[in-house]
Structure 1
Amino acid sequence: MCRHESKFIQIIVQEIVSKLDFTVLSVTPYQTGIDSHVKDINLWFQGGLNNVSVMMICGMGGIGKTTIAKIVYNQNFDKFEGSSFLANIRETAKQPNGLVCLQRQLVSDILKWNKERIYCVAEEINKIKDAMCCKRVLVVLDDVDGLDQVNALLGMRDWLHPGSKIMITTRHVQLLKADEVYKSYVVKELNDDEAICLFNRHAFGQDKPIEAYVEHSKRVIHHCGGLPLALEVLGFSLSGETIDVERKCISKIKNTFSRENS
């Protein structure tokens, strides 16, 4: 077998492996208020076939950015030649060699190979370039809070192959420079109807509250301010409770917000 045939077979094998190795991300079973966001972002996927497109999904912590990104990723990753979802970048980057670990995962996801031994951020940039310059890729950078993290994981955006899509979830609307071409999508809080539905699905397993807890539910919604994370945590933690719901809710709300803002 000549060298060219061997290389050609290797390419075919890698392509087959990549098609068989897709992993669907797990998401919450209750997706109240998510559909409209997913629909809007999916429209973005239909354009930009001849260039690299970047979207920032922005909003406060706990607003549902990651859930939205996961659903969109699950619905679109099989349309690309390579894909990667890098979760919890803000926290991972704080760990020793955190950015290097994320870089390894990115290259491994795109090439469908075992994670290579990479020891420094600068060394990995060239490997990322080689991995993504010839493929249409979908990459999600989840919970980014610094431009240095974007640069370490994507390098120069002009390295990316035309048709590639990059989604970045962040709390910082001004994360990217003003002169860079990207689309910003801001996620808003749930309205009252959506908030009540989400809370009660987790607390009572149904869209509407049990009659005895209607007023309690309304006050909980008011304290949560339409924040999905707080509603989910409170609803789940109160599932099966029968007494003093409101007092427990307010206490848990305070704890949830203090952790989220730390």
Structure 2
Amino acid sequence: MEIKEILSLLCTESLDVRSIGIWGTVGIGKTAIVEEIFRIISVQYETCVFLKDLHKEVEVKGHDAVREDFLCKVLEVEPDVLRTSNIKTSFLRSRHGRKRVLVILDDVNDLRDVETFLENLNYFGPGSRIIITSRNRRVFVLGKINHVYEVKPLDILTSLQLLDRGVLQNVLSPEVYKTLSLELIIFSNGNPQVL
């Protein structure tokens, strides 16, 4: 159901450049959702860039290096052609102003990430889509992302289906399994990673 709702927010048939946010707690499934969306819609775009675990990448490589990698992928140029400190607005527009681009920025979580990666997103061609996942709702406000989908916790039935019954059933009686399962679901608050 979530995939359908997010695809509806994306309005992939529209020619406007649209940015959407996917917001939720750690482990709720934001990355899994955007991976599936990427698989479904990436064939509709000339250029596709998926930056997974952006926050961790920035911690390891630094903002400038990750931004340069990102722009090289989006613009489809080699790093020596592009030096982030010398990027001109006209260059950005001429390189991808007519291209239909799909960009997914996964795990954008602080203000500097917003400034580093979202400042040039308005130069993409008609029909481009930008999807950002974050656990920090302020990212979407600062990035001026108007369409935000909140990933909700799993309901009890879905949580029960997610639990690996085979392992627990071999060790526990049905009554203990049922009680323990419900306690785990309540404890996890419907978070798939906790289950």
TM-score (norm 1): 0.63
Which residue of the other structure, out of 155, 158, 173, is the alignment partner of 2:119?
A: 155
Could you say what the CA RMSD is over the residues aligned between the two structures, in angstroms?
A: 3.0
Cα separation, partners in 2 of 1:179 and 1:172, compared to 1, 3 Å: closer
Cα separation, partners in 2 of 1:118 and 1:55, compared to 1, 3 Å: same
% of aligned pairs identical?
25
Residues 195 and 228, structure 1, Cα contact 8 Å, conserved in 2:
yes
Residues 60 and 171, structure 1, Cα contact 8 Å, conserved in 2:
yes
Q: Deviations over 1:221-253 (max 9, x none)?
A: 12111111111xxxxxxxxxxxxxxxxxxxxxx
Q: Output aligned runs, 1:1-262, within 5 Å.
A: 36-46=1-11, 49-96=14-61, 98-112=62-76, 115-117=78-80, 121-123=84-86, 130-177=94-141, 180=144, 182-200=146-164, 203=167, 211=174, 213-231=177-195
Cα separation, partners in 2 of 1:179 and 1:128, compared to 1, 3 Å: closer
Cα separation, partners in 2 of 1:91 and 1:125, compared to 1, 3 Å: farther
Cα separation, partners in 2 of 1:159 and 1:222, compared to 1, 3 Å: same
Cα separation, partners in 2 of 1:118 and 1:228, compared to 1, 3 Å: farther
Residues 107 and 128, structure 1, Cα contact 8 Å, conserved in 2:
no
Cα separation, partners in 2 of 1:125 and 1:138, compared to 1, 3 Å: farther
Residues 87 and 143, structure 1, Cα contact 8 Å, conserved in 2:
yes
SS where residue 175 of structure 1 aligns?
A: helix
Residues 125 and 153, structure 1, Cα contact 8 Å, conserved in 2:
no
Give unpaired runs (5+ residues) of structure 1: 1-35, 232-262
Q: Could you tell me how far apart the structure 2 residues matched to 1:76 and 1:135 are?
A: 15
Q: Could you tell me how far apart the structure 1 residues matched to 2:143 and 2:31 are?
A: 26
Higher relative contact order, structure no. (Cα contacts within 8 Å, ≥ 6 residues apart): 2
Q: Deviations over 1:175-227 (max 9, x none)?
A: 1337935201111111111111112268569xxx9735222222111211111
Q: Could you tell me how far apart the structure 2 residues matched to 1:177 and 1:153 are?
A: 14
Residues 83 and 138, structure 1, Cα contact 8 Å, conserved in 2:
yes
Q: May I ask how many residue pairs the two structures share in their alignment? A: 191
Residues 53 and 182, structure 1, Cα contact 8 Å, conserved in 2:
no
Residues 21 and 145, structure 2, Cα contact 8 Å, conserved in 1:
no
SS where residue 7 of structure 2 aligns?
A: helix
TM-score (norm 2): 0.82
Quick check: which has more Rg, 1 or 2? 1
Q: Could you tell me how far apart the structure 2 residues matched to 1:201 and 1:104 are?
A: 46
SS where residue 176 of structure 1 aligns?
A: helix
Give unpaired runs (5+ residues) of structure 2: none
Q: Could you tell me how far apart the structure 2 residues matched to 1:118 and 1:203 are?
A: 54
